[in-house]
Amino acid sequence: MSGWNGAVRTIIAIGASTGGPAAVAAILRELPRLRACAVVIAQHLPGNFTASFAERLDAQSAWTVREARSGLEVEEACCYIAPGGRRTEIVADGDGLRCAVRPPAKADVYLPSIDALFASVARLSKVWTIGVLLTGMGRDGVEGLRAIRESGGFAIAEAAETAVVDGMPRRAREAGFVDEIIPLGALARRLTELCQGRR
């Protein structure tokens, strides 16, 4: 529990694949607990690895990190890891938000699906979303990042010089779906600025 009991008004949605676990950990270690903010992460991992990934991040950061499960309330200063092999979305529930973890859809090529998670937060009308697409091959997350940007959110791609594999972020950059390109070491600071209203 965060201890603040405030409504979530900003969601940081992070997507990553190859090289992502270390990159995600680096961001969370430097990212302070932020009022009215929650983090949701889709990292391409098998189903038997995401729970331990969440436990490791919980121990290494100031955030309360949990593996997402259906019905779990999204709370401020908490981070939710999409479980491997499943499709995770964030949905509105009255005045709050909850995790919805479902079987994969036929269109899902990668699991957890970054596109599905990003698209779900883009549909939320009462929160502002910052989408962050990190290292990885393929194009999962590119359309989701577009959805976040088109819904009024803010889209970030990791810079090529720090991405272990500059596939997903490069495709987002080339498609023009990105507001800022930021190297890994500067991401936590920029996310803090954005969440505190310093655009």
113 has catalytic annotation: no
Q: Provide the H-helix boundaries in the chain.
A: 20-30, 50-60, 114-122, 142-150, 168-175, 184-195
17 an active-site residue?
yes
In this structure, the chain runs to a length of 199
Indicate which residue of 2, 17, 93, 179 is catalytic: 17
Annotated active-site residue in 44, 113, 120, 166: 44
Q: Rounded to the nearest 5 degrees, what angle is found at the Cα of 134, between the Cα atoms of 66 and 84?
A: 40
Neighbours of 60 (CB within 10 A): 13
Query: Residues 61, 113, 115, 140: which is the catalytic one?
Result: 140
Which position has the token pair 């603040």?
Answer: 4
65 forms beta bridges with 79
For this structure, is 140 an active site residue? yes
Catalytic machinery residues: 17, 44, 140
